[in-house]
Amino acid sequence: MTPKQQHAFDKSAFKISMVQHLTQLGHAPETAQQRDWYLALGRALAEHTTGDLVATENDQAIKQAKSVNYLSLEFLIGRLTGNNLISMGLYDVIAEAVGELGLGLTDLLEQERDPSLGNGGLGRLAACFMDSLAAQQYPAVGYGLHYEYGLFRQSFDQGAQQEAPDAWREPEGYPWEVVRPDLTQTIGFYGHVEVVEEAGHTYRQWVPSLKIQAMPWDLPIVGYQSNTVYPLRLWEGRALTPFALDAFNAGEYTHAQQADIDAGNLTKVLYPNDNHDAGKTLRLMQQYFHSAASVGDILRRHLEAGHALAALPEYETIQLNDTHPTIAIPELMRVLLDDYRLGWDEAWAIASRTFAYTNHTLLPEALETWSESLMAELLPRHMEIIFEINHRFLQDVEQKWPGDVRKQQVLSVIDDQGERMVRMANLCVIGSYAVNGVAALHSQLVKRDLFPEFDALYPGRIQNVTNGITPRRWLKFCNPDLSNLISEKIGEQWPAQLEQLEQVAQYADDADFQKTFMAVKKRNKQRLADWVKSNLDITLNTDAIFDVQIKRLHEYKRQHLNLLHVISLYQRLLNEPNFDMAPRVVFFAAKAAPGYELAKSIIFAINKVAETINNDPRVGDKLKVVFIPDYRVSMAEIIIPAADVSEQISMAGKEASGTGNMKMALNGALTIGTMDGANVEIREEVGDDNIYIFGLDVDGVTELRQKGYQPETAYQNQPLLKAALDSLLDETFTPGQPGLLRPVFDSVMTSGDPYLCLADFADYVRAHNDIDRDYRDMSQWARKAILNTALVGKFSSDRSIRDYVNNIWQLKAIKR
Ligand code: 26Y
């Protein structure tokens, strides 16, 4: 909404509209519950955003400009109401309006269930990018899936993770979404390929034996302080009517898969794996469904705007969020070849100039491959096209490196060592005009370790775009007190121009500013402490260091290294009479993939250690351990502003970027971290004095492995470490049940400690001791915290998007 429109915003009309929506929901103002009012508020606001969404969609200037299509199987958007109010510039006036109705805005906002349509970093990044595209008015459409159930809800039963379905839209539906049945498409699966002859040419035509409808729901992505609203278009799988199914060949209809795959199941649930490929058929079906519907919609928009097919790359670019939507590449080829009957070279010239691919991981277990036989059965025509792409590609490889069989083998889309598999990353690199990693170090490693041959074959194709976060949600909205303090000093432009935060640095040594800054931090810590008290019944000391590790549970992220440090603090408190430490609360929040046993064991161990420490009267309030259940965006919004210390402790070379590191630094937390992912760039920005770097770097890891790493050495030589590890085997944390925590012990001892926890332990403890020392000097600590907030403006996702726009997409902003 423009300033003029905001000025014109009619509060009393809005109140009437809210009451009307309440009535439509079947409630009377006198008896309505908070939840009913929240729904009425959401629906009343959505009227405005839907209007702007449709207007943006029909904007001629946008139709004649180039757009980015962000294809992602995950969009972890979080609650929309509060954020959209900020973007619309209506937060205060709506707070007034609901106040006049006898309600509290923050209470109403609390009623919204998070749409958790993603697992973690990759999905949240997609949400931040949509926010930054809309804020800067670069034409964009987000394409995702309309999962009926988002990421599972987590609870603990005696310390063990339990999963429950996340029915985020139930029972009343989600107030912000708009269904677009007119844009429904039909998506095929299985079947066979026929040859058709026409006018002396032969064409191939896929005849699918299963068809599922893709119906889109649009969520409004509201540009900050602009009336630009882009759609996040989420496809829902729906069964064709039995009547329409009659049209199919009876023999094909009884295809074996037809029985188990009910079309309504296709988008039932988000796969809860993060960085681990399980290779399930239904997941490949989701991927194809998403890709085909999105490619179909992009082509529809392109042609309806009156553009020629061959001009597609000039008007549309398609960004692939990791390899999950890779099948969009052969799908576009199929449509161009078989439906529009272009020649191969013409079709390839279009497709290979349209797609760009972002890699988010080097972990081998996260690199997607699909069995060739499954692919050939589910998508027979696509498999033919993939073979043809590969065949032509391998001819280029032969040209470049004649007779080099090893190069052919590593570069081929098909891995033929063992069961033949389709390597989705290779297909992506071949079919894309640009490939990028997500932090400087990560992009270097993509070139050096993951795709060295591709980098040699296509110099310059692999680039870097360092990730970012939206300062609207991750500072202005989640930390209003700090936001107001900043605005008092440097004005109100910073949420759209985060580099301006640099001006805050001049106050880093100002004693008054330090006090105010730390008072804000303390209030945020109190808000979190209150949450913990009322939800977990643990009493926290807000003078303590709030030490925070919040991210998916994964062995490479080393939550168990943090746990070993916690245990050693506990043991020192009990055993060393002269041991003194600043009080600490160590927070964890993390979901484990339901099938990931070790991750679940680590959660269980943290919960058991927490229970013991928190109930040991000898510890008092020197040390508390809090595992916050059901980590999600709305929980992060409470935790992040309260963090003093941000744990970013992955083994070097494994965390592609991290984005929680950026969020906490922006909110004035100091990072304890390895030289991994974007930590490297955070250090560059804030300076060595304002970050705690420890442990082996990427080269150190390689060297240690070459020398032959033996975790036993550290175990035997470091008494603190040995005692911490041994306590996992006895009854210290599991009274009467020794051995329950053995899986964690085994992971770092018997299993060889694949992520080098024990190798980094001593230096990790050293870094924590530095933190302990520095925290006691409140003025010094405040200075460091202020400088973190001031110096991380680079990590605005607005900057990331501008990097994509300038170096990859080549878009122009269209101001509405
Ligand atoms: C193959 C499938 C099971 C799969 C599903 C989800 C594979 C990976 C993922 C998710 C990956 C992910 O979230 N990666 C993270 O992306 C962030 C944004 O770029 C990075 O900051 C973070 O380091 C990286 O782990």
pLDDT single digits (tens) 467-506: 999 999 999 999 999 999 999 999 999 999 999 999 999 9
Last residue of a domain, one of 420, 446, 465: 465
Which atom from ligand 1 is nearest to the alpha carbon of 367?
A: 1
Catalytic residue from among 228, 659, 674, 734: 659
pLDDT at 560: 99
DSSP, residue by residue, 726-771: HTTTSSSSSTT-TTTTHHHHHHHTTT--TT-HHHHHHHHHHHHHHH
Placement of tokens 């759609």 in the chain: 231
Q: Check residue 687 and report its DSSP letter.
A: -
Q: Are residues 533 and 454 in the same domain?
A: no
pLDDT band at 120 (very low <50, low <70, confident <90, very high): very high
Q: Are residues 443 and 375 in the same domain?
A: yes
Verify whether residue 557 is a known catalytic residue: yes
User: What per-residue confidence (pLDDT) applies to 256?
Assistant: 42
What does the pLDDT average to over 758-787? 98
The pLDDT value recorded for residue 8 is 72
- Taking the C-alpha atoms of residue 470 and residue 799, their distance in angstroms, rounded to an integer, is 10
Q: What is the CATH number of the domain that holds 791?
A: 3.40.50.2000
Pair (513, 445) in one structural domain: no
Q: Which residues pair with 437 in a beta bridge?
A: 464
Do 429 and 496 fall into the same domain?
Answer: no
Work out the average pLDDT over 325-343.
99
Shared domain for 459 and 532, answered yes or no, is no
In a domain, 54, yes or no: no
Q: Is the pLDDT of residue 244 over 90?
A: no
Nearest ligand 1 atom to alpha carbon 276: 3
Residue 5 in this model has a pLDDT that exceeds 80: no
Question: pLDDT at residue 122 above 60?
Answer: yes
CB under 8 Å to 731, separation ≥6 — which residues? 737, 738
Q: 6: pLDDT confidence band, cut at 50, 70 and 90?
A: low
Q: Give CA separation, 168 vs 85, 114, 756, in Å.
A: 21, 7, 39
Residue pLDDT, tens place only, 701-739: 999 999 999 999 999 999 999 999 999 999 999 999 999
Angle at Cα 185 formed by Cα 184 and Cα 187, nearest 5°?
145
Sorting pLDDT into bands at 50, 70 and 90, what band is 264? confident
pLDDT (0 to 100) of residue 377 = 98
Atom 3, ligand 1: residue with shortest CA distance: 277
Percent over 90 (pLDDT), the chain: 96
Answer yes or no: is 16 within a domain: no
Question: Is the same domain home to 535 and 446?
Answer: no
415 closest CA partner among 372, 466, 469? 372
- Residue 615's contacts (CB-CB under 8 Å, 6 or more residues apart) are none
> Atom 6 in ligand 1: which residue has the minimum CA distance?
274
Band (pLDDT 50/70/90 cuts) for residue 261 is: low
334 is a catalytic site residue: no
Question: What is the tens place of the pLDDT at every residue in 362-412?
Answer: 999 999 999 999 999 999 999 999 999 999 999 999 999 999 999 999 999
* Active-site pick, 552, 565, 794, 799: 552
pLDDT at 257 > cutoff 90: no
Cα(464) to ligand 1 centroid in Å equals 16
How many Å lie between the centroid of ligand 1 and the Cα of residue 380? Answer: 29
Rounded to the nearest whole angstrom, what is the distance from the C-alpha of residue 451 to the centroid of ligand 1? Answer: 18
CA atoms within 13 A on the CB side of 301: 26
Query: What is the rounded average pLDDT of the residues 199-207?
Result: 96
322 and 451 assigned to the same domain: yes
Mutate to test the pocket of ligand 1, among 122, 324, 358 (most ligand atoms within 8 A of CB): 122
- Give the pLDDT mean for 552-577: 98
375 is a domain residue: yes
Q: Whose CA is nearest to atom 16 of ligand 1?
A: 122
Model pLDDT, residue 712: 98
Looking at ligand 1, which atom is closest to the CA of residue 125? 18
| pLDDT tens for each residue of 414-430 | 999 999 999 999 999 99
Give mean pLDDT, residues 75-83: 98
Sign of the Cα torsion 578, 579, 582, 583 reads: negative
For residue 124, which atom of ligand 1 is closest to its CA?
18
Alpha helix (H) residue ranges in 305-378 = 312-315, 328-334, 344-351, 372-378
Residues 447 and 580 in one domain: no
| Ligand 1 center–CA 323 separation, angstroms | 10
Residue 33 lies in a domain: no
Q: Specify if 710 maps to a domain.
A: yes
Q: Report the alpha-carbon distance of residue 339 to residue 445 in Å, rounded.
A: 40
Residue 480 covered by a domain: no
pLDDT at 252 > cutoff 80: no
Contact 186, 214 (CB under 8 A): yes
* Ligand 1 pocket, Cβ-based, cut-off 6 angstroms: 119-122, 125, 273-277, 360-361, 366, 368, 438, 467, 655-659, 677
Same domain, 382 and 417: yes
Same domain, 440 and 509: no
Average pLDDT for the chain: 96
Q: What is the mean pLDDT of residues 105-114?
A: 98
Q: How far apart are the CA of 633 and the centre of ligand 1, in A? A: 16
**Ligand 1 center to residue 118 CA distance, Å?**
10
Pocket test of ligand 1: the residue of 269, 274, 319, 803 to mutate, having most ligand atoms within 8 Å of its CB, is 274
To which H or E segment does residue 124 belong? helix 121-136
Examine the pLDDT at 556 and tell me if it is beyond 70.
yes
Domain count, the chain: 2
Residues 513 and 659 placed together within one structural domain of the fold: yes
Of the listed 63, 591, 663, 794, which one is catalytic?
A: 663
Model confidence over 32-78: pLDDT tens digits?
999 999 999 999 999 999 999 999 999 999 999 999 999 999 999 99
Domain contains 688: yes
Q: What percent of the chain has pLDDT over 70?
A: 97
Catalytic, 302? Answer no
Range of the domain at 682: 492-801
Q: Exposed, middle or buried, 684 (CB in 10 Å: 0-12/13-18/19+)?
A: middle
Task: State in Å: Cα 79 to ligand 1 middle.
Answer: 21
Q: Choosing from 66, 525, 551, 560, which is the catalytic residue?
A: 551
- Is 702 an active-site residue? no
The pLDDT score that the predictor gives to residue 7 is: 56
User: Of all protein residues, whose CA lies closest to atom 22 belonging to ligand 1?
Assistant: 658
Are 461 and 568 found together in one domain? Answer: no
DSSP state of 147: -
CB 134 within 8 A of CB 223: yes
| Residue 653 CA, ligand 1 centroid: distance in Å | 14
How many Å lie between the centroid of ligand 1 and the Cα of residue 285? 20
Catalytic residue among 146, 557, 584, 654: 557
In this prediction, residue 263 has a pLDDT band, given cuts at 50, 70 and 90, of confident
Instruction: Output the six-digit token pair for 543.
Output: 């003078």
Asked whether residue 432 is domain-assigned, the answer is yes
* Ligand 1 binding pocket mutation candidate from 130, 287, 361, 446 (most atoms within 8 A of CB): 361
Q: Cα dist. 76→127, 151, 410, 482 in Å? A: 6, 9, 34, 25
Instruction: State the closest ligand 1 atom to the C-alpha of 368, by its place in the atom list counted from 1.
Output: 1
pLDDT at 808: 99
Q: How far apart are CA 740 and CA 601, in angstroms?
A: 9
